[in-house]
Amino acid sequence: MPRVLADRDRIAQVFSNLIGNALKFTPGGGRVSVRGRRGSETVCFVVEDTGGGIASEDQAHVFDRFWQAKKSARMGTGLGLSIAKAIVEGHGGRIEVESTPGMGSRFQFSLPTAPDVDAAAVPPPLAHASATGAATAGARGIT
Protein backbone atom coordinates (compact mmCIF):
# COMPACT_ATOMS: atom_id res chain seq x y z
CA MET A 1 0.00 0.00 0.00
CA PRO A 2 1.21 3.54 -0.66
CA ARG A 3 1.73 5.99 2.18
CA VAL A 4 -1.06 8.21 3.43
CA LEU A 5 -0.16 11.33 5.40
CA ALA A 6 -2.67 11.21 8.24
CA ASP A 7 -3.21 11.38 11.96
CA ARG A 8 -3.04 7.69 12.82
CA ASP A 9 -5.19 8.05 15.95
CA ARG A 10 -7.98 9.86 14.09
CA ILE A 11 -8.01 7.32 11.25
CA ALA A 12 -8.12 4.55 13.86
CA GLN A 13 -11.19 6.33 15.25
CA VAL A 14 -12.83 6.19 11.80
CA PHE A 15 -12.18 2.44 11.61
CA SER A 16 -13.45 1.99 15.17
CA ASN A 17 -16.70 3.83 14.41
CA LEU A 18 -17.35 1.99 11.15
CA ILE A 19 -16.42 -1.48 12.40
CA GLY A 20 -18.23 -0.90 15.71
CA ASN A 21 -21.44 0.04 13.88
CA ALA A 22 -21.12 -2.93 11.54
CA LEU A 23 -20.76 -5.30 14.50
CA LYS A 24 -23.57 -3.59 16.40
CA PHE A 25 -26.08 -3.92 13.56
CA THR A 26 -25.08 -7.37 12.25
CA PRO A 27 -26.87 -10.28 13.91
CA GLY A 28 -25.10 -13.43 15.10
CA GLY A 29 -24.05 -15.56 12.16
CA GLY A 30 -23.66 -12.46 9.98
CA ARG A 31 -20.43 -11.24 8.45
CA VAL A 32 -18.37 -8.06 8.71
CA SER A 33 -15.44 -7.55 6.35
CA VAL A 34 -12.77 -4.86 6.09
CA ARG A 35 -10.74 -4.37 2.91
CA GLY A 36 -8.27 -1.86 1.55
CA ARG A 37 -7.18 -1.16 -2.00
CA ARG A 38 -5.01 1.26 -3.87
CA GLY A 39 -6.55 3.72 -6.30
CA SER A 40 -4.71 5.95 -8.74
CA GLU A 41 -4.27 8.79 -6.22
CA THR A 42 -6.07 7.43 -3.17
CA VAL A 43 -6.19 4.51 -0.80
CA CYS A 44 -9.72 3.19 -0.34
CA PHE A 45 -11.03 1.28 2.67
CA VAL A 46 -14.32 -0.62 2.80
CA VAL A 47 -16.24 -1.87 5.84
CA GLU A 48 -19.09 -4.12 4.73
CA ASP A 49 -21.66 -6.07 6.74
CA THR A 50 -24.59 -8.41 6.27
CA GLY A 51 -26.74 -6.61 8.83
CA GLY A 52 -30.21 -5.18 8.43
CA GLY A 53 -29.16 -2.38 6.08
CA ILE A 54 -30.24 1.25 5.99
CA ALA A 55 -33.44 2.47 4.36
CA SER A 56 -32.79 4.49 1.20
CA GLU A 57 -34.47 7.60 2.65
CA ASP A 58 -32.18 7.38 5.70
CA GLN A 59 -28.90 7.02 3.80
CA ALA A 60 -28.74 10.75 3.02
CA HIS A 61 -28.75 11.51 6.75
CA VAL A 62 -26.43 8.91 8.31
CA PHE A 63 -23.52 11.37 8.44
CA ASP A 64 -25.61 14.18 10.02
CA ARG A 65 -24.78 15.09 13.62
CA PHE A 66 -27.09 13.50 16.19
CA TRP A 67 -29.14 11.75 13.49
CA GLN A 68 -30.35 8.22 14.20
CA ALA A 69 -32.71 5.97 12.29
CA LYS A 70 -36.04 6.05 14.09
CA LYS A 71 -36.58 2.34 13.44
CA SER A 72 -33.30 1.34 15.07
CA ALA A 73 -33.63 -0.84 18.13
CA ARG A 74 -29.99 -0.12 19.05
CA MET A 75 -29.62 3.56 19.69
CA GLY A 76 -26.35 5.41 20.08
CA THR A 77 -25.47 9.09 20.32
CA GLY A 78 -25.79 9.80 16.61
CA LEU A 79 -22.26 11.18 16.51
CA GLY A 80 -20.01 8.33 15.35
CA LEU A 81 -20.60 8.62 11.61
CA SER A 82 -20.58 12.44 11.63
CA ILE A 83 -17.24 12.34 13.46
CA ALA A 84 -15.91 9.78 10.96
CA LYS A 85 -16.97 12.02 8.08
CA ALA A 86 -15.33 15.09 9.64
CA ILE A 87 -12.07 13.20 10.16
CA VAL A 88 -11.99 11.75 6.64
CA GLU A 89 -12.86 15.08 5.00
CA GLY A 90 -10.34 16.85 7.25
CA HIS A 91 -7.70 14.61 5.67
CA GLY A 92 -8.87 15.53 2.15
CA GLY A 93 -10.80 12.29 1.69
CA ARG A 94 -14.34 11.14 1.01
CA ILE A 95 -16.73 8.80 2.79
CA GLU A 96 -19.94 7.27 1.47
CA VAL A 97 -22.50 4.59 2.20
CA GLU A 98 -24.32 2.06 0.03
CA SER A 99 -26.97 -0.07 1.67
CA THR A 100 -29.84 -2.38 0.86
CA PRO A 101 -32.41 -2.98 3.60
CA GLY A 102 -32.33 -6.61 4.65
CA MET A 103 -28.98 -7.20 2.90
CA GLY A 104 -26.43 -5.05 4.71
CA SER A 105 -24.36 -1.91 4.38
CA ARG A 106 -21.09 -0.91 2.78
CA PHE A 107 -19.18 2.11 4.07
CA GLN A 108 -16.26 3.23 1.96
CA PHE A 109 -13.76 5.97 2.62
CA SER A 110 -10.77 7.11 0.63
CA LEU A 111 -7.73 9.15 1.56
CA PRO A 112 -5.28 10.82 -0.81
CA THR A 113 -1.88 9.19 -1.06
CA ALA A 114 1.20 11.08 0.03
CA PRO A 115 3.65 12.14 -2.65
CA ASP A 116 6.57 9.75 -3.09
CA VAL A 117 9.48 11.12 -1.09
CA ASP A 118 12.61 9.67 0.39
CA ALA A 119 11.71 8.63 3.95
CA ALA A 120 14.99 10.11 5.20
CA ALA A 121 13.94 13.51 3.85
CA VAL A 122 10.68 13.58 5.83
CA PRO A 123 11.02 15.49 9.10
CA PRO A 124 9.66 13.88 12.27
CA PRO A 125 6.12 14.84 13.29
CA LEU A 126 5.76 18.09 15.16
CA ALA A 127 4.63 17.86 18.75
CA HIS A 128 1.78 20.04 19.94
CA ALA A 129 0.32 20.59 23.37
CA SER A 130 -2.99 18.95 24.17
CA ALA A 131 -5.66 20.41 26.44
CA THR A 132 -3.91 18.74 29.38
CA GLY A 133 -0.59 20.27 28.45
CA ALA A 134 0.98 16.97 27.43
CA ALA A 135 2.87 16.90 24.16
CA THR A 136 1.33 14.69 21.51
CA ALA A 137 2.54 13.72 18.06
CA GLY A 138 1.12 15.38 14.98
CA ALA A 139 0.27 13.83 11.63
CA ARG A 140 2.15 10.64 10.81
CA GLY A 141 2.46 8.65 7.66
CA ILE A 142 0.40 5.48 7.59
CA THR A 143 1.68 2.63 5.47
Confidence of residue 100 (pLDDT cuts 50, 70, 90): very high
Termini Cα distance of the chain: 6
In this prediction, residue 142 carries a pLDDT of 56
Q: Is residue 77, in this structure, part of any structural domain at all?
A: yes
Question: Does 94 map to a domain?
Answer: yes
CATH code assigned at 102: 3.30.565.10
Q: Which pLDDT score is estimated for 76?
A: 59
Q: Residue 125: inside a domain, yes or no?
A: no
Global pTM?
A: 0.75
The domain total for the chain is 1
Q: Is residue 73 part of a domain?
A: yes
Q: Which helix (H) or strand (E) holds 123?
A: none
Residue 139 in any domain: the answer is: no
* One-letter identity of residue 133: G
- Domain of 100, in residue numbers: 4-114
User: Is residue 42 pLDDT above 90, yes or no?
Assistant: yes
CA of residue 69 relative to chain centroid, distance: 19
Which residues are within 8 A (CB) of 106 and not within 5 positions of it... i.e. 6 or more apart? Answer: 46, 47, 48, 49, 97, 98, 99
